[in-house]
Amino acid sequence: MATSQVTRYNNHIGGKWVESSTGRTYTITNPASNESVLAEFQTSGVEDALKAVDAAHEALTGWANTPAPVRAGVLFRAIEILRQRGDDIARTITLEEGKPLSDAQGEVKRSLNIMEYAAGEGRRMFGYTTPSELPDTVAYTMRRPLGVVAIITPWNFPLAIPAWKIAPALICGNTIVFKPASATPWSAIKLMEVFVEAGLPPGVMNVVTGPGGSVGNALVESPLVKGISFTGSTEIGTGIYAHGASLLKKIQCEMGGKNAVILLADADIDKALGGIIQGAFGSTGQRCTATSRVIVEEAIYDEFMEQLIDRTSKLKVGDGLDPEVDVSPLASKAQFDIVMEYIGIGTEEGAELVQGGHAVTGGIFDQGYYIEPTIFAGVQTDMRIAQEEIFGPVLTVLKAKDLEDAIQISNNVKFGLSSSVYTKDLSQAFEYINTVDAGMVHVNAPTLGGEVHLPFGGLNSSGVGHREQGTEAMNFFTEVITVYIDHAASARERARFI
């Protein structure tokens, strides 16, 4: 494995690029070609996390007291810099995470949209006034930043997920310790560089790279950290929420999904196929909103399966830098192993493997983590592949008698992030909207994504705490303060508060 002339990146703490206290570093490789070492990063420890917290705390008063429209000015400058560097950063995303370049470019665009929305909130940090029951009294609310917040993000969207946490946190006047996923720190460092050039004051945002366990736990336990925004697995998120809540911190966790598309007999099958294939195999299925299940009304099951297998078999697998590739490698050896294990489990459970199911090997494929787009038919609701998040290019297909049966199947999982129905019947669409257990629902559209000015998040094991994005982000990253001002000219007997 060649490591010559690999660039080493440091942590960013208190406005300076510094080495970790551990004296250790680690490298990341390209998942499309694991012989290619991309860069070297700091293996941080608890001491580094606490130094970053101290730096953020020291910078808090100055940033919180900076008028919100002035804070917005920094974000607007960061938007322009990110736009100028967009092609380079998109390529970085593909190199370290593996997703197709077109998806990476979309991630950059999403980040720009998020930052643009948040910057606009600098002139809309609204409270409200209301009549008081007391004479000569003004009553109103205002927003105040939480303080130091910890941002802990996953590897699958190494730019967009940090952006949709960092931008609202900054505009609300918080200071940040940012812990990116250890597998994808490169995009995080480049985002930090953007904010440094945009003029973000020292200590307002700090980046600490390396393993998540000890660093993350130190951030949760620090009494100076007042809020934590986490995206990742349900198991880790549940632990962070429970521990953080016991310490009276404000916690936001966006976690897993087992998202279903319901396909009814009256649907436009061609339109549905496009959304399902995009949802299941785009970004190699490594999205929390990816389509993991399709629940098909019996009357069209055979016709749908024939077309689904045909179209999926034509998808091109390869390096994400190839513009003709549809399905790129898994992001890591660990994720590759998990997905292959689930394919084995599905076969053992008796599901019918009708497409894919194998690692792609030979030539350049031997150097990467490639798996064929995979489809299981004949899936039963109690199978593990129908219940557990796989996070890869694996689609499970189930039959339903009608809409009511399909919704029961859809709801029969512990998750509730995103869902979709394809139908031309408006009454059935609204029945679905009103009864499906998902935080985000789509009609005649894929399960993917969401717009930056609307809440993002799920029910049950898919999320806990405030939703992300839109006004919900502002609600999470601020505390509401209620103000009463008695402006009477002299003392008087005051009515009692009820």
pLDDT digits (tens, 9 = 90+) for 244-292: 999 999 999 999 999 999 999 999 999 999 999 999 999 999 999 999 9
Contact yes or no for 118/468 (Cβ under 8 A)? no
Q: Which residues contact 427 (CB under 8 A, 6 or more apart)?
A: none
Q: How far apart are CA 261 and CA 294, in angstroms?
A: 5
Catalytic residue among 288, 372, 468, 472: 288
Cα 116–Cα 119–Cα 125 angle in degrees, nearest 5: 135
The H-assigned helical ranges of 322-379 are 333-349
Tokens at 45, concatenated? 């420890």
Question: What's the one-letter identity of residue 233?
Answer: S
Q: Which of 379, 442, 445, 454 is nearest to 413 (CA)?
A: 379
Q: How far apart are CA 395 and CA 313, in angstroms?
A: 13
Catalytic residue among 96, 107, 254, 372: 254
How big is the chain by its Cα radius of gyration, in Å? 24
Are β-strands 259-263 and 291-297 bridged in parallel, bridged antiparallel, or unpaired?
Answer: parallel
**pLDDT attached to residue 494:** 56
**pLDDT attached to residue 446:** 96
**pLDDT attached to residue 493:** 58
On the CB side of 485, how many CA atoms lie within 13 Å of its CA?
A: 8
Which residues partner with 327 through β-bridges?
A: 317
What is the distance between the terminal CA atoms of the chain, rounded to a whole angstrom?
A: 72
Q: Which of 336, 321, 395 is nearest to 371 (CA)?
A: 336
The H-assigned helical ranges of 121-267 are 160-171, 185-197, 212-221, 234-246
**pLDDT attached to residue 492:** 66
Give the helix/strand (H/E) hosting 83. Answer: helix 68-84
107 is catalytic: no
Q: Which of 109, 114, 108, 122 is nearest to 73 (CA)?
A: 122
Question: What are the pLDDT tens digits along the chain (498 aa)?
Answer: 444 589 999 999 999 999 999 999 999 999 999 999 999 999 999 999 999 999 999 999 999 999 999 999 999 999 999 999 999 999 999 999 999 999 999 999 999 999 999 999 999 999 999 999 999 999 999 999 999 999 999 999 999 999 999 999 999 999 999 999 999 999 999 999 999 999 999 999 999 999 888 899 999 999 999 999 999 999 999 999 999 999 999 999 999 999 999 999 999 999 999 999 999 999 999 999 999 999 999 999 999 999 999 999 999 999 999 999 999 999 999 999 999 999 999 999 999 999 999 999 999 899 999 999 999 999 999 999 999 999 999 999 999 999 999 999 999 999 999 999 999 999 999 999 999 999 999 999 999 978 999 999 999 999 999 999 999 999 999 999 999 999 998 876 555 555
Q: How far is CA 486 from CA 85, 130, 133, 140, 495, in A?
A: 53, 14, 12, 12, 12
Contact yes or no for 114/170 (Cβ under 8 A)? no
352 is catalytic: no
Taken in order of first residue, the domains within the chain and their CATH numbers are: 11-255+453-482 (3.40.605.10), 259-443 (3.40.309.10)
Q: Which of 272, 266, 291, 270 is nearest to 281 (CA)?
A: 291
Q: Report helix angle 160-171 to 185-197, nearest 10.
A: 40
**pLDDT attached to residue 458:** 95
pTM above the 0.85 mark? yes
Residue where the block lists tokens 């070609």: 33
Q: How far apart are CA 220 and CA 241, in angstroms?
A: 9
Contact yes or no for 375/276 (Cβ under 8 A)? no
Question: What's the one-letter identity of residue 74?
Answer: V
Tokens at 269, concatenated? 């099958």
Which residues partner with 441 through β-bridges?
A: 419
Tokens at 172, concatenated? 């609300």
- Secondary structure E strands in 14-122: 16-18, 25-30, 33-42
Q: Which residues contact 496 (CB under 8 A, 6 or more apart)?
A: none
**pLDDT attached to residue 489:** 87
Distance of alpha carbon 203 from the chain centroid: 24
SS3 state at 21: coil
Give the helix/strand (H/E) hosting 432. Answer: helix 426-435
Which residues partner with 296 through β-bridges?
A: 263, 399
Q: Which of 218, 229, 223 is nearest to 248 (CA)?
A: 223
Greatest Cα pair distance in the chain: 88
